């Protein structure tokens, strides 16, 4: 288990938000933290601490008036630390290679692959052809509906008909190098991890998985390590002191070892 760093960018600024509050209309979200520093500052910090495999998430849609500013921040972080970080937000088969050329190790994809609320296998194959499965992270971020967890798209706002199951991961792992799973119902709330999501992930052994959502302290990291059988990586956001919380980044790194 290791800590995967994150850089979330919204309206041109590095932020930590409550995931379920994000709305494309008006580019609004409930904010836990807004940084005065650019995304490249955090990228360099992560490199100096020996962290890799983290993700940059562009939280504005392409038609937002803030999208260009948000994208510029993401590109600056990639340029500062080539090969270190992954990037997601508006990625498709036509632009994925551009982000790899800019310094991303992987592109993170959701909406392009799950268009129309279901798996679009044509788009999935186009993406693999464009950049190769070794450069693809599929985002299986989810929310609970009834008694199951379903993959959500469009910045966690739209449900698909795809359940988060071992069978789903079996099928999709042939098209990607990793999975990223935000438990969107608890994202940014610092109220504890979504244990049922972790149990689903821990029952499957395949490509690497990174879990994000709800971590508030070292105890949550230890619980995730236990439930995830020490093979699920973790992202911590709002709880970290660098993002306005109380948890020291170095302590979080050490707890994952």
Are 84 and 24 a contacting pair, CB within 8 Å?
A: no
Q: Which two tokens stand for residue 72?
A: 């510029």
One digit per residue, the tens of pLDDT, for the chain of length 257 reads 999 999 999 999 999 987 667 777 788 878 889 999 999 999 999 999 999 999 999 999 999 999 999 999 999 999 999 999 999 999 999 999 999 999 999 999 999 999 888 999 999 999 999 999 999 999 999 999 999 999 999 878 899 999 999 999 999 999 999 999 999 999 888 889 999 999 999 999 999 999 999 999 999 999 999 999 999 999 999 999 999 999 999 999 999 98
Q: Give the pLDDT confidence score for residue 18 in this predicted structure.
A: 76
pTM value? 0.95
Q: Examine residue 136 and state whether it is found in any structural domain, yes or no.
A: yes
Q: Give the pLDDT confidence score for residue 19 in this predicted structure.
A: 64
Q: Which two tokens stand for residue 45?
A: 């910090």
Q: Examine residue 134 and state whether it is found in any structural domain, yes or no.
A: yes
Please tell me whether residue 162 adopts helix, strand or coil conformation: strand
Q: Examine residue 111 and state whether it is found in any structural domain, yes or no.
A: yes
Q: Examine residue 40 and state whether it is found in any structural domain, yes or no.
A: yes
Q: Examine residue 170 and state whether it is found in any structural domain, yes or no.
A: yes
Q: Give the pLDDT confidence score for residue 239 in this predicted structure.
A: 95
- The tally of domains found in the chain comes to 1
Q: Examine residue 1 and state whether it is found in any structural domain, yes or no.
A: no
**Exposure string over 121-158, b if 16+ CB within 10 A, otherwise e:** eebbebbbebbebebbbbbbbbbbeeeebbbbbebbbe
Q: Which domain holds residue 143?
A: 6-256
Task: List, in order, residues 6 or more apart from 217 with CB less than 8 Å away.
Answer: 239, 246, 247
Q: Give the pLDDT confidence score for residue 159 in this predicted structure.
A: 94
Q: Give the pLDDT confidence score for residue 85 in this predicted structure.
A: 98
Q: Examine residue 80 and state whether it is found in any structural domain, yes or no.
A: yes
CATH of the domain at 156: 3.20.20.70
Q: Examine residue 189 and state whether it is found in any structural domain, yes or no.
A: yes
């Amino acid at each position: 288990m290791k800590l995967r760093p994150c850089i979330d960018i919204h309206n041109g600024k590095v932020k930590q938000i409550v995931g379920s509050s994000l709305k494309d209309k008006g580019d609004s979200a409930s904010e836990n933290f807004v940084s005065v520093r650019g995304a490249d500052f955090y990228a360099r910090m992560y490199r100096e601490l020996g962290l890799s495999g983290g993700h940059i998430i562009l939280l504005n849609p392409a038609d937002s008036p803030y999208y260009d500013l948000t994208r510029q921040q993401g590109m600056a972080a990639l340029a500062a630390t080539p090969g270190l970080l992954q990037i997601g937000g508006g990625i498709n088969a036509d632009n994925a290679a551009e982000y790899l050329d800019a310094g991303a190790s992987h592109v993170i994809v959701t909406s392009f692959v799950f268009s129309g609320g279901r798996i679009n296998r044509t788009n999935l194959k186009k993406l693999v052809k464009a950049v190769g499965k070794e450069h693809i992270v599929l985002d299986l971020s989810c929310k609970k509906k009834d008694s199951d967890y379903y993959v959500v798209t469009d910045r966690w706002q739209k449900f698909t008909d795809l359940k988060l199951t071992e069978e789903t991961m079996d099928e999709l792992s042939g098209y990607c190098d990793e999975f990223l799973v935000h438990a969107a119902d608890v994202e940014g709330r610092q109220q504890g991890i979504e244990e049922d999501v972790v149990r689903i992930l821990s029952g499957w052994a395949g490509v690497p998985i990174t879990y994000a959502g709800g971590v508030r302290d070292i105890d949550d990291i230890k619980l995730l390590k236990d439930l995830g059988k020490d093979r699920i990586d973790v992202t911590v956001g709002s709880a970290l002191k660098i993002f306005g919380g109380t948890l020291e980044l170095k302590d979080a790194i050490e707890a994952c070892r």
